Amino acid sequence: MFSYKISDSLYYVGVNDRKTELFERLVPLPYGVSYNSYLLIDEKVALFDSVEICYAEKTLEKIQNTLGGRNIDYLIIHHLEPDHSSGIQQCLDKYPDIQIICTKKAAEMLQGFYGINANIKTVNEGEEFSLGKHTLKFIFAPMVHWPEVMMTYEISEKILFSADAFGCFGTLDGGVLDNQLNVERYFPEMERYYVNIVGKYGLPVQTVLKKALNYPIETICSLHGPVWQQNIERVVGIYDRLSKQDGEDGVVIVYGSMYSHTEAMAEAIADGALSVTKNVILHDVSKSDISQIITDIFKYKGFVIGSPTYNGAIFPKVQDVVEKIELRGLKNRIFASFGSFTWAGMAVKLLNEFGERMKYEQIGSIEVKHSMKMSDYEAFYNLGKRIALRITED
């Protein structure tokens, strides 16, 4: 196992996980995920974060091969979520004299998760720390996306160690730097990562962006995904846009359908929206993964949702979407609802109440008994056209 040299002093000692199927046992990983760790060698040696416990030995082997007998002086902890911290004890077993540097809240979590409470230095916002020729400056990033998170800015090489921010799903296949990789496959996974993992915390993300971007940045070392150098402006732009909840022009139509009646309505709405914009996405909640559904809802301004009445309520998988969007507090959407029922309608009423709670601009609502008739088609078509026109007005 060998490290990857990023600069004369900085080495990548992270690992790829191609085995885990669900991130946090929830979010599918069709392209795997990397757990990133970095080694900065100067008069003193600093390790930036550990990795998930089952990969700790791989990282330690890379560290040993890189250091050639030198010890690690400091372990900088940016984030205590176990995919980055569960390998810490193995690191301490190998290098028992390491001093841990972290926030006060992270120190509390170290004790709570792993019973580690010795040789810890807690730092303050803006504090500087010298390794020799390299100086570290600590930037607190609470709730991006845990309360103990911090970032580190290295002054001489203009490196931002950004914790989970600017990270994405996807393994690093044969390279580490963005200029070595086909980065186009990572940007959709960055959006999916942000929405599903960080999405609730738009305001804290905006706060830390304002702090971090005060510094000139030539390299971003995130805890997941590529090391960014050539695409810094683009990745910062993705986080800026998603954290502001500014949707792009486009319409996402999400529906549940047991016997295809509600699906036919969704397709009629899509026909109308397509007469105005090509950015129209349909998601059948029984087929599409919910992580992708809510990612697309974050991405586009137009949000249309439909459901049959099911046991006097919203179809359960549609209800899952409603709850996840409400939990993340997504604002500023142009909204419409639709649905069907057999003997007593309720789903559309509940969907409209959701739109009101979210303070969405509501364009219209249609509910049909039994199934959509030819005479109903125009109303659904016009609903799709109307929401797409409203979006293009902005």
List pLDDT tens digits, range 119-152.
Answer: 999 999 999 999 999 999 999 999 999 999 999 9
Q: Average pLDDT for residues 30-55, to the nearest whole number?
A: 97
- How far is C-alpha 371 from the geometric centre of its chain's CA atoms? 38
**pLDDT > 90 fraction of the chain, expressed in percent and rounded:** 95
Residue 374: per-residue pLDDT? 85
> Helix H segments across the chain?
56-67, 82-85, 88-94, 104-114, 186-193, 202-212, 232-244, 261-274, 290-299, 316-328, 347-357, 374-393
Mean pLDDT of the chain: 96
Give residue 2's pLDDT band: very low, low, confident or very high (50, 70, 90). Answer: confident
Q: Average pLDDT for residues 178-197, to the nearest whole number?
A: 96
Cβ-contact 271, 381 below 8 angstroms = yes
HEC-encoded secondary structure of 102-133: ECHHHHHHHHHHHCCCCCEEECCCCCEEECCC
Give residue 372's pLDDT band: very low, low, confident or very high (50, 70, 90). Answer: confident
Query: Is the pLDDT assigned to residue 371 strictly greater than 90?
Result: no
Tens of pLDDT, residues 261-300: 999 999 999 999 999 999 999 999 999 999 999 999 999 9
Cβ-contact 211, 186 below 8 angstroms = no
Domains and CATH numbers, the chain: 4-244 (3.60.15.10), 252-393 (3.40.50.360)
Residue 224: per-residue pLDDT? 98
Query: Is the pLDDT assigned to residue 394 strictly greater than 80?
Result: no
Tens of pLDDT, residues 216-239: 999 999 999 999 999 999 999 999
DSSP 241-309: HHHHT-PEEEEEEEE--SSSHHHHHHHHHHHHHHTT-S-EEEEETTTS-HHHHHHHHHHEEEEEEEEEE
Residue 71: per-residue pLDDT? 96
Query: Is the pLDDT assigned to residue 1 strictly greater than 80?
Result: no
Residue 4: per-residue pLDDT? 87
Give the separation between CA 51 and CA 84, rounded to whole angstroms.
4
Give residue 393's pLDDT band: very low, low, confident or very high (50, 70, 90). Answer: confident
| pTM for this model (two decimals) | 0.94
Q: Average pLDDT for residues 350-373, to the nearest whole number?
A: 95
Residue 196: per-residue pLDDT? 96
